[in-house]
Amino acid sequence: MPLDPASARPRPDLGFLAARSARRAAPASAPEPVPEPVPEPAPVEPPAASPVEPLEPPAPVNPLEPPATATPLEPPATAVNPLEPPAPANPLEPPAPPPAPAGPTISLTPPSPPTPPSTGGSLLDLFPDDEPASPPAAAAPAPTPPAPAAAGGASSTRAAARWQRPRLDLEGRITLGGAVPALTLSRVASGIGAITIDLAVGQTQGPVGLAGVYELWGDASAPDSPDPAARPSSSVVTRDAREAPTRSRRPVLLAGRDRFDRVAIDLRQVRRLRRLLLVVRRPIGVPMTMPWAGALVVTTHAGARVDVPLEPIGAAPAAAALAVYQVDGELVLRAEARPAGSLREAAQAFGFEAITWLDDHTPLQ
């Protein structure tokens, strides 16, 4: 039931509403037309059922087989049906190479080296035409490894490579020459008493003699002298000139004759001796066709002995038989056996150039 404020009974209890104006009622809108109901159509009876043949299912289509109208080319013979299991591979046959792709291919073969430019007359040529290029050097053959040597051969080779002069102490006896051309007297054997060198020959050799060509350091020309221009003195000792230095109260070398010709070295002054060359010689006028025989016998103060045979010299008027060197207080003996025409020739062959000679056999003292 619609309420109309105009027809309502007054309300004295609501006097505070008298000062307000009542809202104007909105005009009523026209009612929407209601559509008329549409009668439902009568049901249509389906026609009588007739026997219908069932449709055959379509044939299965191979997904890998291209359609007939897709391309005029036939499918490759190597097509594989994914539904069929692959044929077992033969392990003895190598695998077939993969088919080449249809697109652009990349070659893995290294490119051929560029053709060298012709050696014409260009200004940029490094080799002119008149200077042919040298052929490439042949590769050096690989070094052949050395064959393993036997135990005995290796030891003998090492021993020969590390050969050292033998040392003679206070006692013993050694023959110089051949496999043992030199030896060293120990510091004790080189510093006690004196060393004698005798020319031991038979009577068939005749009146042969022994001479000693020497170099001595003087007091002012000692090895530790501050004067760099100091030089040792040189001369010869024989049976006729017995002392060296000449007319010295303490000679370093002393020549004489006992049973044989002899030269002695005072070892208390061994450091004054620089070197000594022992020369054997025949007297003037004796035939020189007889070969040398005998030995030089070196004897130390304690009794050690060194023999130097003279047979290797052969037939000669003179010969350098033995060289003695002083090295830091020790004496080194070396067999020489070098023939010469005279005493002078033997001395000059070993570098004794400071000696003045009266003739080939006599030095000026």
Q: What tokens does 153 get?
A: 């051969």
How far apart CA 98 and CA 58 sit, in angstroms, is: 36
pLDDT tens readout for residues 227-275: 545 678 899 999 888 888 888 888 999 999 888 899 999 999 999 999 9
138, part of any domain = no
pLDDT at residue 47 greater than cutoff 60: no
- Of the candidates 185, 116, 149, 181, which has an alpha carbon nearest to the alpha carbon of residue 329? 185
User: Where residue 283 falls among pLDDT bands split at 50, 70, 90?
Assistant: confident
Q: What tokens does 38 get?
A: 């549409």
Residue 242 buriedness (CB in 10 A; 0-12 / 13-18 / 19+)? middle
pLDDT of residue 81: 59
Domain count of the chain? Answer: 1
pLDDT at residue 173 greater than cutoff 60: yes
User: Where residue 122 falls among pLDDT bands split at 50, 70, 90?
Assistant: very low
Residues 34-63 have a mean pLDDT of 58
pLDDT tens readout for residues 312-360: 998 899 999 999 999 999 999 999 999 998 999 999 999 998 899 999 8
- Of the candidates 187, 176, 209, 201, which has an alpha carbon nearest to the alpha carbon of residue 300? 187
pLDDT of residue 364: 86
279, part of any domain = yes
Range of the domain at 321: 167-349
User: Where residue 149 falls among pLDDT bands split at 50, 70, 90?
Assistant: very low
303, part of any domain = yes
pLDDT of residue 232: 83
Question: What mean pLDDT, rounded, does the chain reach?
Answer: 74
Pairing of strands 318-327, 253-257: unpaired
Task: List the beta bridge partners of residue 309.
Answer: 295
Phi–psi pair at 307, nearest 5 degrees? -105, 135
258, part of any domain = yes
Question: Regarding predicted confidence, which is higher, 55 or 334?
Answer: 334
How far apart CA 282 and CA 26 sit, in angstroms, is: 177
pLDDT of residue 284: 77
Q: Sheet containing 173-175: which strands, arranged edge to edge?
A: 173-175, 305-309, 295-299, 194-200, 261-266, 253-257, 243-244
In contact, 338 and 278? CB cutoff 8 Å: no
285, part of any domain = yes
How far apart CA 73 and CA 70 sit, in angstroms, is: 9
157, part of any domain = no
User: Residue 353, Cβ neighbours under 10 Å: how many?
Assistant: 8
How far apart CA 275 and CA 322 sit, in angstroms, is: 11
User: Where residue 200 falls among pLDDT bands split at 50, 70, 90?
Assistant: very high
CATH code, domain with 320: 2.60.60.30
pLDDT of residue 28: 54
Q: What is the DSSP string of 185-196?
A: E-TTTTTSSEEE
In contact, 338 and 346? CB cutoff 8 Å: yes
176, part of any domain = yes
CA 204 to chain centre: 62
- Ranking 111-115, 286-290, 301-305, 313-317 by mean pLDDT, the lowest is 111-115
In contact, 299 and 305? CB cutoff 8 Å: yes
195, part of any domain = yes
- Of the candidates 188, 183, 210, which has an alpha carbon nearest to the alpha carbon of residue 296? 210
pLDDT of residue 124: 42
pLDDT of residue 217: 87
- Of the candidates 360, 324, 355, 325, which has an alpha carbon nearest to the alpha carbon of residue 340? 360
User: Where residue 126 falls among pLDDT bands split at 50, 70, 90?
Assistant: very low
Identify each DSSP E strand in 145-272 by its residue range: 167-168, 173-175, 182-185, 194-200, 209-216, 233-237, 243-244, 253-257, 261-266
Q: Classify residue 315 by its DSSP letter.
A: S
pLDDT of residue 150: 47
